[in-house]
Amino acid sequence: MGWSYRKSVKMGPFRLNLSRSGVGHSYGGRGFRVTKTADGRRTLTVNLPGGFHWKKTLGSSRG
């Protein structure tokens, strides 16, 4: 396994994620978050009390 890099900058409910593969961003709070990764994947995550969570890939900008 090689070296990796990840830096996250938080600005309220918006988060900018910097990594070796590029720039991604996410928006939301503790219970609900929409993410777009550096490689173009879009994910919706819902977190419920008690450790339950639901995650769905919404689509990709890659074609």
Closest CA to 42 of 54, 52, 33, 30: 33
pLDDT at 1: 58
The CA distance from 20 to 18, in Å, is 7
Q: What is the rounded average pLDDT of the residues 14-39?
A: 90
**Pair 16, 27: CB distance under 8 Å:** no
28 token code pair: 């939301």
pLDDT in tens, 34-60: 999 888 899 999 999 888 999 999 876
pTM equals 0.68
Give the whole-number percent of the chain exceeding pLDDT 90: 46
pLDDT at 62: 55
The CA distance from 23 to 55, in Å, is 21
pLDDT at 35: 92
